[in-house]
């Protein structure tokens, strides 16, 4: 479990003990106990929805400053000054084929985080992702609204089930995981540890799932993008597939290169 959560819990318990002692011995108002509890609950809720805090467990939210390459028989460190990563959640879905067509045309590798239940009937799309050199990650099996309320054991089962669905097609071990909705908690921390997966967050959330205008979505991403960004997109969204050619064209014009995770 991440030390941030452990240390915060220890600090909270010590603070609560101090306040309770003040109430008992020094006549502090009992309301101080309630305020401490509410403040800590607020912290835990915010930490759950802010994957970038790395509060319950660590996630990769930005591309590393340095990457290791192997050239001419030697390991080399290369700076990622103008590199970004395109990531797509919730597939395989209706727009996945169109997204793959665009990526193939532009010779770009991306990362797809798949929902296990969506794989059945779309196995050829998963195989195509693998064959064309894209990274494939786990995005839970059901992606249900109740996912974050499940026990660590139930979460683990979902992750294992999705890993198996992907690995049965690609014959390659799944190593990456993106939490549904980007929500984290102690139970999910245990499930990630149990499965040995590496959690991937993001630094730029496109909000394409609620976008109504192609031009506004494209403008939003291009206005916010910066070097080392991990961009969150969804290959189930028609608006995403529609703007993808122009997005890639403009990013290339700005001399960005593209990385899969």
Q: What residues act catalytically?
A: 89, 234
Sign of the CA dihedral 120, 198, 111, 234?
positive
What is the rounded end-to-end Cα distance, in angstroms, of the chain?
A: 24
User: Which candidate, 123, 75, 62, 74, places its Cα nearest to that of 97?
Assistant: 123
**What is the four-CA torsion angle of 245, 234, 160, 45, rounded to 10 degrees?**
140
151/171 Cα distance (integer angstroms) = 29
**Cβ(235)–Cβ(207) below 8 Å:** no
């Amino acid at each position: 479990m991440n030390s941030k959560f452990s240390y915060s819990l220890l600090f909270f318990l010590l603070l609560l003990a101090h306040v309770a002692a003040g109430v008992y011995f020094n006549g502090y108002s009992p309301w101080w106990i309630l305020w401490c509890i509410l403040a800590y609950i607020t912290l835990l809720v915010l930490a759950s929805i802010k994957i970038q805090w790395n509060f319950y467990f660590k996630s990769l939210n930005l591309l590393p400053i340095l990457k290791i390459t192997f050239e001419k028989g030697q390991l080399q460190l290369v700076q990622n000054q103008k590199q970004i990563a395109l990531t797509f959640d919730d597939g395989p879905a209706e727009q996945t084929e169109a997204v793959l067509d665009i990526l193939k045309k532009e010779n770009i590798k991306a990362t797809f985080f798949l929902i296990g239940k969506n794989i059945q009937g779309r196995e050829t799309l998963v195989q195509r992702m693998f064959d064309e050199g894209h990274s494939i990650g786990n995005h839970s099996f059901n992606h249900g609204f109740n996912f974050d309320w499940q026990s660590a054991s139930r979460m683990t089962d979902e992750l294992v089930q999705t890993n198996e669905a992907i690995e049965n097609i690609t014959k390659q071990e799944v190593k990456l995981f993106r939490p549904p909705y980007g929500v984290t908690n102690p139970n999910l921390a245990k499930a990630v540890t149990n499965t040995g997966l590496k959690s991937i967050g993001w630094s730029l959330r496109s909000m394409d799932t609620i976008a109504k205008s192609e031009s506004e979505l494209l403008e939003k991403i291009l206005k916010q993008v910066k070097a080392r960004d991990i961009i969150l997109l969804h290959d189930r969204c028609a608006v995403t597939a529609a703007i993808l050619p122009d997005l890639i064209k403009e990013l290339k014009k700005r001399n960005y290169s593209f990385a899969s995770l």
